[in-house]
Amino acid sequence: MSRSQRLLTLIDLLRSHRYPVAGKHLAETLEISLRTLYRDIATLQEQGANIEGEAGMGYVLKPGFLLPPLMFNDEEIEALVLGARWVAQRTDSQLSDGAKNALNKIAAVLPPELKNTLDDTSLLIGPSKDTVIDSVNMPEVRLAIRDEKILSITYCDLKDNKTTRRIWPFALGYFDEVRVLVAWCELRQEIRNFRTDRLLTCELEKTRYPTPRHALLKRWRATLHGASTTKAN
């Protein structure tokens, strides 16, 4: 096993434990000496891994993002760049800036030869046939999804019927020509799809909806594999 692969394996081992792991156990699993393990942990810490602990006490990887050098091959870098370019061109300004900043952070931890691959990739995003125009604050919609907050909306359906609703948003689908908000609708008492370009008003409430987002996602995904109860508005 190469050292770069061993470092990635060590990270995976630490990620799989919520509590401190003895250095002896880590060294035995990796089939290395304790001395080598201590050097590897010091290397990962220098590269930004939030590893806490010391010899005799055990080690734990604190939650957070880690992008150690050498973890991407050419195809993975091209996939990251292509995806980030799509987000930068097809989403609202805050998410677009987030994609650009993410690429800058990735570039900062890549060794020179891989950074050149990131800078020089020629995979491009073509122009979209239609520009999606949202009449509501999309960062606020994403915040509602993350924080499991209720949205009060005024919605105009495909027949131009306007209704006022309270919804529990839990997913947002991005397509070239439309964005679709998936939510539990209190008015219809079922999961419904809402095109964001047909949201006339959208107000974020302080109230959290009672069903966890992951449970709503699970319920919605189940409908996609059978007789779907999700209806398009």
Question: 46-84: per-residue pLDDT in tens?
Answer: 877 889 988 778 999 887 655 555 567 778 888 989 999
Cβ atoms of 139 and 91 closer than 8 Å: no
Give the tokens for residue 189. Answer: 């008492």
Average the pLDDT over 202-216 and give the result.
96
In a domain, 87, yes or no: yes
Residue 227 lies in a domain: yes
Most trustworthy range by pLDDT among 30-39, 40-49, 105-114: 30-39
For the cut 90, the answer to whether the pLDDT of residue 167 exceeds it is yes
Q: What is the pLDDT of residue 130?
A: 67
CB contact at 8 A, 94 and 180: no
- Given the DSSP bridges, would you call strands 58-61 and 199-208 parallel, antiparallel or unpaired? unpaired
The model's pTM: 0.67
What local confidence, expressed as pLDDT, does residue 228 receive?
Answer: 44
Condensed to tens digits (0 to 9), the pLDDT of residues 91-118 reads 888 999 999 988 887 777 676 767 777 7
Res 65: pLDDT: 54
Is the pLDDT at 219 greater than 70? The verdict is: yes
pLDDT band at 148 (very low <50, low <70, confident <90, very high): very high
Q: Are residues 164 and 228 in the same domain?
A: yes
pLDDT at 131: 67
Asked whether residue 130 is domain-assigned, the answer is no
> In this model, does residue 38 exceed pLDDT 50?
yes
Residue 133: per-residue pLDDT: 73
User: Is 114 part of any domain?
Assistant: yes
Contact in structure between 148 and 138 (CB atoms under 8 Å) = no
CB 204 within 8 A of CB 179: no
Last residue in a domain, options 36, 61, 86? 61
Pair 159, 227 in one domain: yes
| DSSP string of the chain, one letter each residue | --HHHHHHHHHHHHHT-SS-B-HHHHHHHHT--HHHHHHHHHHHHHTT--EEEETTTEEEE-SS----TT---HHHHHHHHHHHHHHHHHS-HHHHHHHHHHHHHHHHHS-HHHHHHHHH----PPPPSS----SS-HHHHHHHHHHTEEEEEEEE-TT--EEEEEEEEEEEEE-SS-EEEEEEETTTTEEEEEEGGGEEEEEEEEEEPSS-HHHHHHHHHHHHTSS---EE-
Mean pLDDT of the chain: 86
Q: Based on the domain organization, do 167 and 222 belong to the same domain?
A: yes
Domain-located, residue 175: yes
Tokens of 144: 């509602």
- Is the pLDDT reported for residue 124 higher than 70? yes
For the cut 90, the answer to whether the pLDDT of residue 223 exceeds it is no
Q: What is the mean pLDDT of residues 206-221?
A: 95
> Which one has a higher pLDDT value, 93 or 134?
93
Long-range pairs, 28-33, Cβ under 8 A, ≥24: 30/1, 30/6, 32/6
% of residues, the chain, pLDDT over 70: 90
**Residue 127 scores a pLDDT above 70:** yes
Q: Give the mean model confidence (pLDDT) for residues 190-204.
A: 95
Number of domains in the chain: 3
- Is residue 208 a part of any domain in this protein? yes
Which pLDDT belongs to residue 41? 92
C-alpha 80: how far from its chain's center? 13
Average pLDDT over residues 153-181: 94
Residue 179 lies in domain: 138-232
Whether residue 143 is found in the same domain as residue 205: yes
7 within some domain: yes
The predicted pLDDT at position 16 comes to: 82
Is residue 71 within 8 A of residue 118, CB to CB? The reply is no
Amino acid at 68: P
